[in-house]
Amino acid sequence: MTKTAWVFPGQGSQALGMGMDLLELSEAKEKFVQAEEILGWSVSDICQNHEDKLARTLYTQPCLYVVETILADVIRKAEKPDLVAGHSLGEYIALYVAGVFEWAAGLRLVKRRAELMENAAGGKMAALIGFDKEQLDRILAETNDAVLANDNSSAQVVISGTPEAIESVLAQVKAKRKLPLNVSGAFHSPMMAEASAEFKNVLATVEFHQATVPVISNVEPVPTVEADILKQRLVKQMTGSVRWRETALALPEQGIERVVEIGPGNVLTGLIKRTASGLKLENVRSAAETELVRS
């Protein structure tokens, strides 16, 4: 039996029209209705008609959670993963799929997380592609208020911090491409400490169960099923770095041979391909593509 990991993308993978063919499925319709009751706005309306809102953290994160969890539930009728992981927001979908919390509880967590991150203004993030790692590590070590936020692959990272610190790093580091990100705050950095502290209190009110399959967390890419460990790692996630390169390297170490990225786009399979060779990579972005997995 081929050992399979399911991985779930986070903010930045959203696209207008995502998940809309899911509305043809009765079980999906129920989830969209339930989501509107929890959120106070319509996921399907945002995904179909409001590209500007879909790009805002406040809406992006709940929309991705709803679409990706529904896709995963459809696929689960035919197969089960042996391991799960998600990139930033995607970790919440991984935890739901692993049975760590109920669907509605997860959406409420994501809703509050999105609100806190939307309001954490004043920071800056930038992606670097084709850079010298040693040089970047040295510059970050010498620069206050700038950190490595996403270690995505050996060729792509995201830095986060105060606008002044990020500008300073960008001015010094050599890279093929330097791309400022259109986000409201310095996500995955110490600048999120206040939001993280408030979110820790929110997490304390939600019961976590032992995972049914191992979960690789962003801040500590070592698989576990222990509820307390998974919650502690999630507490750290808002201020900690997303260690996706190490997650990709851990997949073959865990005996994984096949990886299915569930959600819009193909960012994660692209990153995994650059980091861990020899894995069979698949994407499920729509109801139509769930048929490929289920056939």
Integer Cα distance of 98 and 83 in angstroms = 8
Whether residue 185 contacts residue 120, with contact meaning beta carbons closer than 8 Å, is answered with: yes
13 an active-site residue?
A: no
DSSP state of 158: E
- Of 44, 153, 188, 189, catalytic: 188
Whether residue 38 contacts residue 111, with contact meaning beta carbons closer than 8 Å, is answered with: yes
What is 200-256 written as a DSSP string? Answer: HHHHHTS-----SS-EE-SSS-S-B--HHHHHHHHHHHTTS-B-HHHHHHHHHHTT-
Report which residue type is found at 114: A
Geometric angle at alpha carbon 59, from 61 and 214, rounded to 5°: 10
88 an active-site residue?
A: yes
Integer Cα distance of 83 and 214 in angstroms = 5
What the block records as the tokens of 195 is: 């939001």
Q: Give the residue among 161, 162, 169, 234 at the shortest CA–CA distance from 196.
A: 234
- Of 88, 168, 189, 196, catalytic: 88
Q: Annotated catalytic sites, by residue?
A: 88, 188
